[in-house]
Amino acid sequence: MHFLGVQNGRRIHKLTMSNYALRNRGVAFFKLNNGTNNVLNLSVRQELMEALSQSQRDRALGFVILSDRRVFSTGFDLPEVIRGIKHPNYHMLNHALESHSIPVVSYIAGKANGAGLELALASHYRVCSNHTKVSFSEVNLGLFPSDFLFFHPYQLLFYI
């Protein structure tokens, strides 16, 4: 994702797919790379959706989501939530992950909070390091995690 400038007070970005790579064994990798907390803002969601489509065009054998930071993802971009979430929203992204035609693996090395944890739960498989910490921190604010958990409670059982 490259920053192009500001138009009408908004930052304009161009999708570059710089976080997507198809390796020699046919496995596609997508690196979450959005600041220290890897917030799932609109640009990250768009790039991840495009990477999923590209992996199908590349006929990849698998799709791995990972981060090179201590944080997998802290989830929502709160200012964006306040302004109103644009498409693709979190539900569309989670649905795209779980219905993807090839296996999707989330490698969680570090923290996965809120929507970041939901992203991992929407993947077909999750691999965690010894230092992984997961939480739905919105519960501390009196909020309930999204309806994703109502339809997929079995995926949470392995973390309890």
Kindly report whether the global pTM for this prediction surpasses the value 0.85.
Answer: no
Burial of 64 (0-12, 13-18, 19+ CB in 10 A): buried
Give tens-digit pLDDT for 113-158.
988 998 998 999 999 988 899 988 777 777 666 655 555 555 555 5
Give tens-digit pLDDT for 33-71.
888 888 888 888 899 999 999 999 999 999 999 987 889
How far is the CA of 104 from the CAs of 53, 55, 135, 144, 147, in angstroms? 13, 11, 21, 26, 21
The CATH number linked to 155 is 3.90.226.10
Q: Nearest-CA neighbor of 40 among 95, 120, 101? A: 120
Give the domain extent around 57. Answer: 2-159
Specify whether the CB–CB gap between 17 and 47 falls below 8 A. Answer: yes
The domain tally of the chain equals: 1
Give the whole-angstrom CA distance, residue 9 versus residue 135: 34
